[in-house]
Amino acid sequence: MTTDETQPTATRPGLPDDTDLAARARAALLACGADEAALAGDQPARTPITGGELARVTWATAAEVDDAVGRAVEAFATWRTTPAPVRGALVKRLGELLAEHKDDLAVLVSLEAGKTTSEARGEVQEMIDICDLAVGMSRQLYGRTMPSERPGHRLMETWHPLGVVGVISAFNFPVAVWSWNTAVALVCGDPVIWKPSEATPLSSLGAAALLDRAIADTGAPQHVSQLLLGGRDVGEALVDHPDVALLSATGSTRMGREVAPRVAGRFGRYLLELGGNNAAIVAPSADLDLAVRGIVFAAAGTAGQRCTTMRRVIAHSSVVDELVERVAAAYRTLAIGDPTTDGVLVGPLIGAPAYETMTAALTAATEQGGQIVCGGTRVLEDLAPDAYYVEPAVVRMPGQTAIVRQETFAPIVYVLAYEELDEAIALHNAVPHGLSSSIFTADQAEAERFLAADGSDCGISNVNIGTSGAEIGGAFGGEKETGGGRESGSDAWKAYMRRATNTVNYSGELPLAQGVEFA
């Protein structure tokens, strides 16, 4: 799919042996404390690095979900009345174990999700960070006191544990997103049942084993955390169960369209973190060195498989040509290959469907008037026919066509030109998703315009950084077809609790609100 003028992207020769990868996975799992019996199942766990098998695990059935929820309901009866700072001690211990086994868990993430070692270690660091934040939250689950209109009355709100939380996570962040939900849910007094992606069972086994150790070390109820490996039927049973108070699901917009009405239909709560068609505006005053670095990481990192991956660049006509040349030049230096090898920056796609989606999108882009500047070609196929390594692609587009408005979960960045900032913001917002966004500019007025109420319509809006790489302290999530949920920092803990408004009458009289008389 490359043009004749394109130089091939740098690649790393050689891929590891499947036996070696399986041994690494086993050692990392056992180091985390996973039971060896967990590797004696009949469902293959594969690695996108070679397409080979790492281990075999046992899947739960939909019928087992009811038993797991029952155990969680029993645990909730004890956990909800445990003082929040004591609940925080469990999360503190989890954070300590994650720090101790950071490299072990990162190995599993690299092997199953195809992330580079640096990105995998960064994901585990996110888990450690959210534990730190949640421990602080355990002493700060604030309510408010409001003035009452009635003399001798106190009006206040209190926050209480909500109930069983179901977590359905995706392959691209196989452990971090679980930890965002779990650390906060646990300090809020909620047990958690986790159904991870079918593509990353070993990472979830390792993470769950560390939490099981923390539970044992702190004397917390055994079933405040449960892991259910399984397929779609297990996820659906969790979605539909009437005793799952909150269902937190990360995945595609298509999945969200199915989950939301089913949970709402039983009057449960849901927290959805769905897709993103994230863009950066590059203004005439932008520092292009900064912009290129931000674009390359956000668009090509994790092989384009982050929900916050940059998928569109909207650049001013005065800088767009130079910007494209510089981004393409940077892309041609990216080392593609075994993500556990030093120096490799781009690992594999998760599998064949992702590659097929990418090639279909590039075909559609050219049919809609686009020009592939570089990338799009599959590499290392001769070394691993069942693995899917691709050169990240840069595509110039004549406008925001149908394929540009569509999220493609692969390393494709579409480049559009604009003349006026209002035009750029309109292009930016004219997509169904609203997750992450950025603007590169040295003009303070442009930055403020982008962050204003009529600027970016995303849940995350950045200035002079890319669209990916959110910090734990800020609430994470987006608008429109991204789902509207918020996880992690800020006051996201409120999603995991129920609010009660309390009125205390100490007056000895019984005045009614609004001056109502009833006598």
What are phi and psi for residue 398, nearest 5 degrees? -75, -15
| Residue 479 parent element (H or E) | strand 479-480
Give dist(CA 422, CA 450) in Å, integer: 9
Largest Cα–Cα separation, the chain = 90
CA geometry: angle 439, 462, 119, nearest 5 deg:
110
- Which residues fall within 8 angstroms of residue 516, CB to CB, at 6 or more apart? none
Using left for φ > 0, alpha for ψ between -120 and 50, and beta otherwise, residue 376 falls in left
Q: Which strands form 497-505's sheet, in the order they lie side by side?
A: 145-146, 153-161, 497-505
Q: Are 163 and 190 in contact (CB under 8 A)?
A: yes
Give dist(CA 153, CA 513) in Å, integer: 11
Partner residues linked to 269 by β-bridges: 246
* CA neighbor of 281 nearest in space, from 396, 428, 179: 428
Give dist(CA 181, CA 488) in Å, integer: 7
Give dist(CA 383, CA 328) in Å, integer: 26
Active-site annotation, residues: 273
Give dist(CA 477, CA 480) in Å, integer: 11
Q: Are 107 and 61 in contact (CB under 8 A)?
A: no
Query: Of how many residues is the chain composed?
Result: 519
Q: Are 201 and 108 in contact (CB under 8 A)?
A: no
User: What SS3 state is found at 142?
Assistant: coil
